[in-house]
Amino acid sequence: AAWPPALGERLADVVRGAKAVLLQREIPDHVNEAVASVAAAAGVPVFQDVGGEDRPLSDDQLSRADYVMPNQSELERLTGMKADTDTAVVKAAAALRAKGAKNVLVTLGERGALLLDAKGDVLRQPAAALPGGSVADATAAGDAFRAAFALASVEGKPVVERLRFAAAAGAIAASRMGAMPSLPEREECDALCARTPLATPNPPTEPDPNPNPK
């Protein structure tokens, strides 16, 4: 009962004034769709976290979002397709793009993340090293990853730097117990970024073994 049936102009103005909106599905779909509609019309970037509810996303909502951001199991539920290899992830992400999604960013746990962008190009982000060497609690790792990616996007970082920053945030969150208590400080993410590789095309472009043939 606390969620409004419609945004109203006051809340719509808040959305229009935002630098970005990050939506997740514990919020009712009608609220997410109203916010995304106002944001998209105003040119405000929309980041759609798919976690929270096991329901389909409407094609309209897929097309409003600048980034649709599921994890592996959420991608499988949204598409009805297996996503247990990088090739399968790309195929499933492409199915979302065929329904209107622009960029699909899939988190893959210890396998890192994979981005299928609006041009159809693929970037593979390796996982960052876990502080302490092991997962303590993965509850907030995806939330930290997606929030950090949205923040870095607002800051205008190149996409490979956004992915690395997000990977660092997710790894730090996974190394700690709890949800909110595990979320990292900016300085921690920056420090781990320095030790985390940048994303590469997937499959990686292999160097030509004979670059100057005679």
Which residues are designated catalytic? 143
Q: How many CB atoms lie within 10 A of CB 78?
A: 24
Say if CB 70 and CB 33 are below 8 A apart: no
Say if CB 108 and CB 199 are below 8 A apart: no
- Sheet with 21-23, side-by-side order of all strands: 21-23, 46-49, 67-69, 103-107, 113-116, 122-125, 200-201
